[in-house]
Amino acid sequence: MASVLEAESAHPRQEPRRIRSVSVWRRFMRQPVAVAAGLVLLVILVVGALEPQYAPRAGSNLSAEWRNHPPILSGWHFFGTDGIGRDVAVRTLQGLHTSEQSALLATLFATIIGVALGGLAGYRGGWVDAALMRITDLLGVFPALMLLLAIYTYFAPVTVWKATAVFALYLWVPVARVVRAEISSLRTREFVQAARSLGATDRRIFLRHLLPNASGTIIIAATSLLAQVFVLEATVEFLRLGLSSEITPTLGNLIGDGQANVFALGWGWWPWAVPAGTLLVILVCINLLGDGLADALRPPRRH
């Protein structure tokens, strides 16, 4: 009998969260543009993740007759070849794999750091809030691109893991600010006061009450951060201050090398246009998906 009563008492606490999740999902599915953008982005990320299984073998066949060849249906070079006969599509997939790996990991680590520090500052307040916010203000003074270029130069030679660590240790700042503002607003709500009066610990209040209610804001901040990481990573690699395209291709250094070869050697436009188009599609899909998530997670207005 006690277990039945416990199950019945637990059901009302779980039901609103389940209903809220279903309503958010329904509101998101009513936006065809955001759904289509999410599906396209998912396909691109999955293809980029599976790249090591087939791309190296497909790009190993070099031939002099296929050097700098424009896109053509015959020979399976649908997007053309570069100056030494490598397939541009295969090179783009290799660059996508590296850029995707760096961007996703950097976004994940930066979000974790930002949620932890921003949540601590928003929940504790006082000198903890003041100290952490002054650190974020100090980091926010420096332009992102200039700071990243200086760090890249200091830690040369740059590897994928070094680049990921640099992005994660700097880009947590906007996430921390958003989470701090949200937690500061939520900690004064009635459900937090009720949980505290019932003897709930600070850890339980933060993990079971504040963090789930701030999940929408965190998801939107992480989505915006993912697009920012893609842009910054491509910019640094485009300037040839990061990874070498001959050793570790990325979307940024492929665009930079392709454009430089157009002006210096008169090569075709396709070696840089294909990775640039891929990056453009990724950024557009991320922005559309973020707008859709923001609309779905926003509470509906009741008249």
Q: Which residues contact 218 (CB under 8 A, 6 or more apart)?
A: 111, 115, 175, 178, 179
Q: What share of the chain is helix, strand, coil (3-state, %, to 5)?
A: 80, 0, 20
* pLDDT computed for residue 53 by the predictor: 62
3-state secondary structure of 72: coil
Round to the nearest angstrom and report the end-to-end CA distance of the chain: 43
* pLDDT computed for residue 42 by the predictor: 93
> What average pLDDT values come out for the chain (303 residues) when binned by 10 residues?
40 48 78 90 89 58 64 69 78 88 92 90 84 84 74 73 83 89 85 81 81 85 91 85 76 83 68 89 92 77 49
Which residue shows structure tokens 């557009």? 284
Burial class (CB in 10 A: 0-12, 13-18, 19+), 51: buried
Q: Which residues contact 92 (CB under 8 A, 6 or more apart)?
A: 79, 251, 254, 274, 275, 278
Is 32-59+80-297 in CATH node 1.10.3720.10?
yes
Residue 132's nearest CA partner among 148, 140, 208 is 140
* pLDDT computed for residue 300 by the predictor: 59
Euclidean distance between CA atoms 91 and 157, whole angstroms: 22
Q: CB–CB of 196/205 below 8 Å? A: yes
Q: CB–CB of 99/233 below 8 Å? A: yes
* pLDDT computed for residue 36 by the predictor: 93
Euclidean distance between CA atoms 151 and 245, whole angstroms: 20
